[in-house]
Amino acid sequence: MQKSFVLFVLAGTALAAWTAQAEGTNAPAASKPFVVMAYNVENLMDVDRVAPYDEYAEIPDDPNSYSPGKLLRKLKTIAKVLKSIQSGKGPDVVILNELEVDHTPESTVTDLKEFLKKYEGTTYEKMLTTELSDELRGLPVEAWLLKALEDEGLKGYAILVGDVPPDADEHEKAIKVGILSRIPVLDHKTHFTEKARGILEAKLDVGGHPIFVLGNHWKSGAGNPAMENVRLGNAKTVRDRLDQILKEDPHSDVIIGGDFNTQYNQGQRYPFMPKTGLQDVLGSQGEAGIFAKTDGPDLYNLWFDLAPEKRFSDEYGGEWGTLIQLLVTRGLGDGQGVDYVPGSITQVRISDLNAQGPLQLPWRWTNYGPGWGASDHFPVTAEFQIASGQPPLFPSHSWGTVAPKEALKVGFDRIDRDKLRNASVLKNATPEELAKAMGEIFIVDATFSKIRPLEVEVDGKSYSLHSYDKNLKDVLRMEPKGKAMKFLGELGLYKGKLQFVVQDPSWIK
């Protein structure tokens, strides 16, 4: 366990409001719900040219490398997503995933209040364009994020970032967990896990009631048993800390959230895994009856507040996933301290901002050209409020507590072709238009030009052709060179070359 690095900047009005609640002088405000969000911002990197991933190291004369302009675009998008919450106010607490670990510590900012004061006469847009200097390039990404939020009117946040263990490998040194909070921070720390990112803990003061927030970003590869072995360690770290908190007070209010790289129904989704971190070790489950008990399971996964077909935060291989999650202890449903507002969990899915196309899939970020997109995950939010003295009512659900074994399909086989553009529009597209089209599904009239590797020609322009389905890829390889063919293809970028991805057999019929 180790203290986390924290950057404080809390607007006076916000602090006064929460202080008034804590002192009992503002009862109406104290009962107003507050919003907690879990948000994977997909590789939010700074611009010091030192990055853990090749595609995020700025390379001169490469239009597809990361750049200050791309950070600017990402920050604007993040601000828009946050502003969609609470009529533009934004969420009160945000568990953040994929903030870059600062690799230029000589430029670390330890006093955000002074930093914001120093640059209050300018904007983050100017700082990333006309006023960009070597000094500004070195700023850690959390400083850029806070400046952007201030400029966009999202004021009053403190930001905490997780520590990196001294013996961390390259994976652990790449990205970190963060927590944004408008609620006063009483304490914070990082709990380390071997071969994994640490768990960031924040203890917050909600109107005089302490609430714990544990931010997670577990090892990736949800369906990979070897990665699940690492996630067992993640889960034990959280479980051990949770047991400590609940030993001191069994009614403690604890929110556990972030990107678990795990399905809420991990054991049912992947029955070949003998043990799962989320369910078997941490104890995530879907029986809301725990809130009326004093023993037995003590964690409720908020996904169970939604019907199974509404549980999703990301997409992979044509299936919806639930890698982003929020879990609560029974103290958040006992009528004391702080309570969860039943039924309030939802994913933030905004068409043409972070959701794209006829299926409204996550609009992934691309570094192509000027950059475009949002994230490969939808944020997930839930509401909480000062308890009324009576436990909230959790409705009984007809779908029960056993999660389905089958994955929820996104519907690649049900696409309305009348709503798709023809790939011919890409012939004279600008770099920005191409960047915006990344991830879009097109009707492609093509000629096979190469079989190994697969390539097609569309209006005299060459594209790679790919499918994640091996059988489907083998079918495509059987087509003779020079054959004309019409199919559906998702525009993407692979090793600097534009490509079309065929996601489903129905796309070549």
Q: Are strands 5-7 and 158-161 parallel, antiparallel or unpaired?
A: antiparallel
Tens-digit pLDDT profile for residues 142-158: 999 999 999 999 999 99
pLDDT of 5 > 90? The answer is no
- What is the structure's pLDDT at 11? 39
- % of the chain exceeding 70 in pLDDT: 93
Instruction: Give 263's contacts (C-beta < 8 A, 6+ positions apart).
Output: 222, 269, 270, 278, 321, 322, 323
DSSP conformation class of 29: H
Segment 399-415 mean pLDDT: 86
As its CATH architecture, domain 5-386 has: 4-Layer Sandwich (3.60)
Which of the following CATH numbers is that of domain 412-508: 3.30.70.3040, 2.40.50.140, 1.25.40.10, 2.60.40.10? 2.40.50.140
Give counts: helices (H), strands (E), the chain: 11, 24
| Residue 258, helix vs strand vs coil | strand
Q: What is the pLDDT of residue 403?
A: 78
Task: Please give the pLDDT value at position 1.
Answer: 55
Compute the distance between CA of residue 287 and CA of residue 291 in angstroms, rounded to an integer. 9
- In tens, the pLDDT along 48-72 reads 988 888 888 878 788 899 999 999 9
- pLDDT(405) > 80: yes
| Mean pLDDT over each residue of the chain, to the nearest integer | 91
Closest CA to 191 of 207, 215, 211, 167: 215
- Residue 194's nearest CA partner among 221, 155, 167 is 167
From residue 425, alpha-carbon distances to 430, 434, 437, 441, 495 in Å are 11, 10, 10, 12, 23
* Portions of the chain given CATH number 3.60.10.10: 5-386
> What are the strands of the beta sheet with 324-329, ordered from one edge?
185-193, 196-206, 209-217, 254-259, 324-329, 299-301
Give the residue-averaged pLDDT of 302-319. Answer: 96
Residue ranges, CATH 2.40.50.140, the chain: 412-508
CB 136 within 8 A of CB 125: no
More confident residue, 86 or 18: 86
* Chain segment 340-366, per-residue pLDDT in tens: 999 999 999 999 999 999 999 999 999
Rounded Cα distance, 383 and 292, in Å: 20
Burial letters for 115-140: b for 16+ Cβ neighbours within 10 Å, e otherwise? bbeebeeebbeebbeeeeeeebbbbb
The per-residue pLDDT for 7 is 52
Pull the structure tokens for residue 493. 């970028």
Phi, psi of 36 (to 5 degrees): -115, 135
Beta bridge mates, 421: 442
Query: 262-267: which pairs have CB atoms within 8 A and are 24 or more residues apart?
Result: 262/218, 262/222, 262/231, 262/323, 262/325, 263/222, 263/321, 263/322, 263/323, 264/301, 264/303, 264/304, 264/311, 264/322, 264/325, 264/403, 265/322, 265/403, 265/404, 265/405, 266/222, 266/228
Distance separating alpha carbons of residues 346 and 335, to the nearest angstrom? 22
Cβ–Cβ under 8 Å, residues 87 and 207:
no
Q: Which one-letter amino acid corresponds to residue 378?
A: F
